[in-house]
Structure 1
């Protein structure tokens, strides 16, 4: 088709623009009280549904005496309602296997508050109770004054967690960024003064005014009978009432003033200097077919500019550490063109001008036809892959479409509808469309300039006039067209000499086939139907960095990332990016402590290309000295101010203490970076992948074994083999025994971080692993009850467990939480008391029942995920376990008793090994 005809057709298509219809598969309606619903059947995952209550209610609606109360209401809806007094709601859900935080959750933004409740649907009672819970959220929260007072501390601790350099800087530049609009004074977390002292009547008024059906929608997507569910929703939610005197729900906006603004800020805990240019723009709507063409145009724009910056980042000695730009969503009816650069120390002007040059190059010359064609092909491929999975699309994806439809009036045509729109409008987008877009976003007004930097960089920061001169200087430079590097050769110089499949064994019960190739490579395959177009894999062999001395450790630990970044086969890094851009695949080598290998995945169509990349990475690595130099320089700049950040200092101290200050366990540093040597990293990389006879590959997903065999023979059967059979070495680096306590004094905020580490020897087996998981979760539930609900001293305590079989059986159980410095000792005492009580008395039976329900419900989901099977099979192969071991897990779970948990807790947690690490502000 000629370009003239194409432009003519584009004009006709635009003239005939029409409203995009809502996904025909969703049942939607509005009750007489104004309550909206969206209900859709979707069987992925099976026997599950997502229930979302969406409220057009956020912090922007708060009065001056209600700051933070939109978010506070969100918390309180979980703390008592008409049908679920006090905390019985969460008790009920946990008993049904629904996890607090991981499953049931909510968030409050400036303009909306959204509740999510994923539920199993194979229980009619649970579904009906779930609907009642959502109904109670909508209008029946009790807002008990006693519960309000208890929750004050929890929310103040949530607020405390966010404090630090980033928060302090945002508080200063947000008023400018929001053009001093209402949004600037309505941070959803609120203010300490109001959170501590508001009267219950104030929050009740907010709830009464704004939690009302004409501002609410219920979204239900999942394995349900949509027609029957619609009847239930109509019957249950019809009784919701709007206030007699309804307040007007004002659609607040951020006004475009036409002004340019500037702010430069420093903070002694900031680790880098960043400059941002934010050009504000009225956000386009997305409701008609013409709007959809505009959406595609913006997506192409972002894809092309991201590709440019990615290519520039690989040039020798770039003028900045990192940079990016693109069209971003914003608030208050706006979107933005946002350009950001992180500069090298002392080189703000140089880095900023290099970044801004790309904006000026866009303004002057736009994109090339080649860039546009490539971006369109990539976007088309992405959409086609989504379309291929249309019958396996997770319910959560549909929820997000309907959520935007309700909150923003965005079109939600569904996968098939969007696929048709893409095929119709993507071919019509031309360079003129891109140039029009560039002209509309890259304006010289409504532009904010924001600089943040460490305190010692203050003297080098410009004022507004100086930064405007930098922009003018860039604009006066001669502009050269962006040169896109094209592929000059094929990935491989020659076709591999294929091996053969020498044995094939199929376990029909487990659906697993094992192939052995002529070079010794073993391949474990578990075909599944969970996805239509996904194959994922991992290959591994023993050895890893454990085989190298400490002096070589930094080179060994960084070898895979350094070598992979340089390109592979005949392609350099930029050519490789272009080679894979229109393909659905990812392949990455790795070298860990005890194993090295390669991991990735692909679509069915691109599977052979993925295997050719595996062959190339393992046999034809590259090294690029200029790119290596750039990588090292960036890392040095990142580490230069690392000691400014309290969190980094604390984490590095924790790593050093737990690892006995061994170089393999300490945090990143310039000293360790200086030990990395490119030639040695390259040598180690080649050594680690020299013997395929030691390698095992695991594949799962939509893989056809018969079709895959010749691909395996060609690319994996041709890998080199040597007689050397490496084994990982025991480095004898264990968490220190005994009682250890260390306090780190860093930071200016009144916040503390606590880490308690229990550790020791461990008999690694399936039963103990499950019992220990039960111990972890029961302790987690108890700490939520005590530290959060009873003492109101923390927001979200976290209990984590790590167990290893090799080089020796070991465990570590960590308890972590943030709190006020004044409460550290009290809360540590409470946490330790819970551990002791668990070991001496065991858990309450109802907590075990909660864990059992959670475990069973999560396993129902896990066994229908390719990623779970890949991880499971790899772990069993590396540990020497049985591949069918999962079949006994449910038996162990059901037989778990409080006495069994008490026994393992007594054995493992009362051995005298406890490390206590505390971060508190500088004195």
Structure 2
């Protein structure tokens, strides 16, 4: 057999080029050598205590008045003994169930009392190699920070492992395992032994084995904790709105006394073989939602700490960016070889990197999808990229760094903390954004096509390659054999591939600048810094300049009507195709051409037609905001009717729908939706989607889109972010002022989608795993008022805490409970209150009974004072951070106006302070009625009586 270029081990020595062209600016005019380390960010305070514990401290005030704290333990499931499988993760759970300073649930109770939520603000995770504990705490009371560090100290060496608490938590851990089961987990169970062949990673999944989770005594958990929770394997990370020197001193004082075992166990590094011959795994599952194929090329770990490594990373990023752009073009063909594809390289496991080519494909399309992936990689091997592709990707790359530099004062503390976690665990470099920009400017212009073209040869090695394919197991669908997939490699590598032609439009985005109309009237709301303009064509523009982000402008637009204005028959024919029109580009530019045209610009505009309104949304950098206005104008005046896009998206959607009915959760949700809408024709069933897709009418959708955007006189545009009014006014007048005014008066239409009356009990039998889901919905008519809306929201927060305490902490019956409540005023006045949880099928009824018992208690007694205080403080803290977010202001401006409320009320805390425990109790009586609810339970198929 002819040796394939794809199969040859052909690493290219790019290092020679790196050395010869390196010329980064250095301190005092010196030019650093490739081997020089990347200088660390001077804003980060680092150190190592005598006991080995490391720390990373960074002052950062985004968000204001918050600190992000992390305890990082360089120990995970890979270090478990044979009788400890799953106990690294179990230990993490026990850290929230009793420590030296916080008995049982006192730790979570305290954090909730200061407004932090279990999940978003208080959390932890366990992986193969590490365990990380995460806290966000307010900074307005010094005692809160003291207590937060006491919690980290307790997690480090003060977890108690009370046998009673261990037994209670078993159920929670097992429910977490249960919730993760399904087609994906079963496919993973078969792929991991091949993917990690010869490595402990194949045998040490963090979730562990249920037989050990159910029986392991507390002492066995304590043994893992004492072996591996020790200072030489730990780091403290603190990022936030504080004095860094004070925090460093606190860390040294509180954690300097931690000690490790006299004879510590060696911290092993589990090896993953990379020198094996090619491997193939093909897995089918009856509940798999679709088919996919991927090729993973294992690699030795690439160093990432030097100047030369940084430049190599730029080369690799350019290669992946250009190849992904080509793959995306294939996805948009009328008969695409895949629905989604990805090319990328990074760390695979500790000590191993990998390059991946992955595609989601239609049923029966695994070989075709694999061929398309390999062909595009081979196209680069044989012909390389084009100069125009490289320049465009360089432009995009530099723009990305430029934007990050512009936002250097607004980096999120949580994001920075995550970065320093990897610095500790992986030894990653952490240069400042200024240093990164300097290196990019020094290196990016000199990177050549020869370098980027050589990446494909370097990465597409036969040795260490693993092919992974999965598909639904169903009658009439025969998966390919291993030989079939190997033949694809041979076929692609054995033929000549045509060079790629880069078709980039040189025409201007907007050929003729429109003549607009001026602002006719202006209203200024000084209290909230909002200005409202009404243009002569009737368009309203609401603007809120902010200083939250230096490189962010967000916007949206809305007009009443949407698809509610059309008949049920027309809706059925256009519901899918309307999305196509919105994604087909504008004017002479299809989506691919538009993406190329916008290279280097940070701008996004997306039109949509919803059920009650039409509009658009998007974002832009301040320097690209005029382009955003041009796109808005074009989405009104020059939308595209793109048959190719229609066929591409139709093929993708058909592939998604082909096996969606095999997924138990989809079937369950479909049943709930159909029942709660009483089978309304606007609420489509899974069984109807495929036939409706066949009836999709692009012409009708295009006509409806044009109609919905034909009259801008009833549109309101909202802008928040980094702009000034003087800059925005001429753009608003020119582009929004040029939008059409037909003077139509219209509104949305109530389609009569109402919940059923009375009580409904529905059980869905679907699924292979021993899983159950329960959803209890209270819904019906209600008179809307702001007071009632706030009471329902507070009631949802109260029950969320109480049901977590009861169902999870006390009963050990679920991993989590979701509670949502709302009162709507359009299309009509209704309430909806939903409680959902997963569980063992044998306990579903028991847990439902507990939910209703708590509801009755709430009706009789109202919430206790402690829970009320927790909810109110959480609402305050959430509001505090929300008011510093452009996205929050954008949504609130629109929702306040839609409800006819005074915009000056957006920053008010009045509703948070005003609701009472008695109002919550009354709301429970009024809305949580036992004569007006629906309960849905999902049970596995084998439970059919």
* TM-score, scaled to structure 2: 0.95
Residue number in structure 2 paired with 1:916: 935
Alignment of 1:775 onto 2:825: no
The 10-residue stretch of structure 1 (579-588 or 514-523) with the greater mean CA deviation from structure 2: 579-588
Q: Distance in 2 between matches of 1:740 and 1:580?
A: 53
What per-residue deviation string (whole Å, max 9, x for no partner) do you get for residues 337-364 of structure 1? Answer: 2112233323333332222211221222
Q: Aligned to 2:816, which of 776, 786, 796?
A: 796
Q: Distance in 2 between matches of 1:352 and 1:486?
A: 27
Alignment of 1:582 onto 2:612: no
Q: Aligned to 1:473, which of 461, 469, 491?
A: 491
Residue number in structure 1 paired with 2:380: 362
Cα contact 1:560–1:589 (8 A) shared by 2: no
Does the C-alpha gap of structure 1 residues 337 and 912 become closer, same or farther in structure 2, counting only changes over 3 Å? Answer: same
Residue number in structure 1 paired with 2:22: 10
Q: Distance in 1 between matches of 2:574 and 2:859?
A: 42
Residue number in structure 2 paired with 1:39: 57
Does the C-alpha gap of structure 1 residues 554 and 283 become closer, same or farther in structure 2, counting only changes over 3 Å? Answer: farther
Note the residue ranges of structure 2 that are not aligned, 5 or more in a row: 1-15, 25-30
Alignment of 1:187 onto 2:199: no
Cα contact 1:536–1:701 (8 A) shared by 2: yes
Residue number in structure 1 paired with 2:885: 865
Once the two structures are TM-superposed, the CA of residue 324 in structure 1 deviates from its matched residue by 2.6
What per-residue deviation string (whole Å, max 9, x for no partner) do you get for residues 558-584 of structure 1? Answer: 344211222102212211111223111
Cα contact 1:557–1:592 (8 A) shared by 2: no
Q: Distance in 1 between matches of 2:907 and 2:404?
A: 33
Residue number in structure 1 paired with 2:769: 749
TM alignment of 1:697-712, pairs within 5 A = 697-712=717-732
Q: Distance in 1 between matches of 2:241 and 2:369?
A: 52
Alignment of 1:719 onto 2:736: no
Q: Aligned to 2:849, which of 829, 833, 840?
A: 829
TM alignment of 1:623-638, pairs within 5 A = 623-638=641-656
The 10-residue stretch of structure 1 (732-741 or 393-402) with the greater mean CA deviation from structure 2: 393-402
Once the two structures are TM-superposed, the CA of residue 424 in structure 1 deviates from its matched residue by 2.1
Once the two structures are TM-superposed, the CA of residue 653 in structure 1 deviates from its matched residue by 1.1
Residue number in structure 2 paired with 1:641: 659
Alignment of 1:844 onto 2:855: no
Q: Distance in 1 between matches of 2:17 and 2:150?
A: 58
Note the residue ranges of structure 1 that are not aligned, 5 or more in a row: none
Alignment of 1:395 onto 2:406: no
Once the two structures are TM-superposed, the CA of residue 52 in structure 1 deviates from its matched residue by 0.6
Does the C-alpha gap of structure 1 residues 451 and 799 become closer, same or farther in structure 2, counting only changes over 3 Å? Answer: same
The 10-residue stretch of structure 1 (747-756 or 301-310) with the greater mean CA deviation from structure 2: 301-310
Once the two structures are TM-superposed, the CA of residue 710 in structure 1 deviates from its matched residue by 0.8
Q: Distance in 2 between matches of 1:568 and 1:519?
A: 23
Residue number in structure 1 paired with 2:28: none
**SS at 1:692 equivalent:** coil
TM alignment of 1:276-287, pairs within 5 A = 276-287=294-305
Cα contact 1:306–1:325 (8 A) shared by 2: yes
Q: Distance in 1 between matches of 2:476 and 2:470?
A: 10
TM alignment of 1:309-708, pairs within 5 A = 309-456=327-474, 460-668=478-686, 669-708=689-728
The 10-residue stretch of structure 1 (547-556 or 277-286) with the greater mean CA deviation from structure 2: 547-556
Once the two structures are TM-superposed, the CA of residue 169 in structure 1 deviates from its matched residue by 0.8
Q: Distance in 2 between matches of 1:11 and 1:513?
A: 49
CA RMSD after TM alignment = 1.7
Q: Distance in 2 between matches of 1:838 and 1:446?
A: 60
What per-residue deviation string (whole Å, max 9, x for no partner) do you get for residues 374-408 of structure 1? Answer: 11110100110110111111112221221111000
Q: Distance in 1 between matches of 2:121 and 2:226?
A: 27
Once the two structures are TM-superposed, the CA of residue 902 in structure 1 deviates from its matched residue by 0.3
Q: Distance in 1 between matches of 2:913 and 2:899?
A: 25
Residue number in structure 1 paired with 2:834: 814
Cα contact 1:836–1:910 (8 A) shared by 2: no
Once the two structures are TM-superposed, the CA of residue 791 in structure 1 deviates from its matched residue by 0.8
Q: Distance in 2 between matches of 1:222 and 1:905?
A: 39
Does the C-alpha gap of structure 1 residues 170 and 106 become closer, same or farther in structure 2, counting only changes over 3 Å? Answer: same
Once the two structures are TM-superposed, the CA of residue 326 in structure 1 deviates from its matched residue by 2.2
Does the C-alpha gap of structure 1 residues 248 and 7 become closer, same or farther in structure 2, counting only changes over 3 Å? Answer: closer
Residue number in structure 2 paired with 1:765: 785
Residue number in structure 2 paired with 1:884: 904
Matched residue count: 919
What per-residue deviation string (whole Å, max 9, x for no partner) do you get for residues 647-696 of structure 1? Answer: 11111111111111123223451022223200000010011011110010
Q: Distance in 1 between matches of 2:784 and 2:141?
A: 36
Cα contact 2:23–2:442 (8 A) shared by 1: no
Q: Distance in 2 between matches of 1:322 and 1:860?
A: 39
Q: Distance in 1 between matches of 2:471 and 2:812?
A: 35
TM alignment of 1:54-69, pairs within 5 A = 54-69=72-87
Residue number in structure 2 paired with 1:898: 917
What per-residue deviation string (whole Å, max 9, x for no partner) do you get for residues 252-272 of structure 1? Answer: 221213311111111111122
**SS at 1:884 equivalent:** helix
What per-residue deviation string (whole Å, max 9, x for no partner) do you get for residues 160-197 of structure 1? Answer: 00001110110011011012300100000000110001
Residue number in structure 1 paired with 2:751: 731
Cα contact 2:34–2:306 (8 A) shared by 1: no
The 10-residue stretch of structure 1 (12-21 or 388-397) with the greater mean CA deviation from structure 2: 12-21
Cα contact 1:559–1:685 (8 A) shared by 2: no
Once the two structures are TM-superposed, the CA of residue 530 in structure 1 deviates from its matched residue by 0.6
Once the two structures are TM-superposed, the CA of residue 11 in structure 1 deviates from its matched residue by 8.2
Cα contact 2:78–2:270 (8 A) shared by 1: yes
What per-residue deviation string (whole Å, max 9, x for no partner) do you get for residues 470-519 of structure 1? Answer: 21111122211112221142222322121111111211122111101110
Q: Distance in 1 between matches of 2:925 and 2:622?
A: 50
Alignment of 1:112 onto 2:124: no
Cα contact 1:489–1:571 (8 A) shared by 2: no
Cα contact 1:48–1:118 (8 A) shared by 2: yes
Cα contact 1:305–1:326 (8 A) shared by 2: no
Q: Distance in 2 between matches of 1:730 and 1:160?
A: 41
Please list every run of at least 4 consecutive aligned residues from structure 1 whose deviation after the TM superposition is greater than 6 angstroms. 4-7, 11-14
Q: Distance in 2 between matches of 1:918 and 1:666?
A: 21
Q: Distance in 2 between matches of 1:621 and 1:705?
A: 29
Q: Distance in 2 between matches of 1:667 and 1:699?
A: 37
Cα contact 1:366–1:438 (8 A) shared by 2: no
Cα contact 2:677–2:754 (8 A) shared by 1: yes
Q: Distance in 2 between matches of 1:519 and 1:52?
A: 54
Q: Distance in 1 between matches of 2:33 and 2:347?
A: 27
Once the two structures are TM-superposed, the CA of residue 542 in structure 1 deviates from its matched residue by 0.3
Q: Distance in 1 between matches of 2:422 and 2:717?
A: 42
* TM-score, scaled to structure 1: 0.97
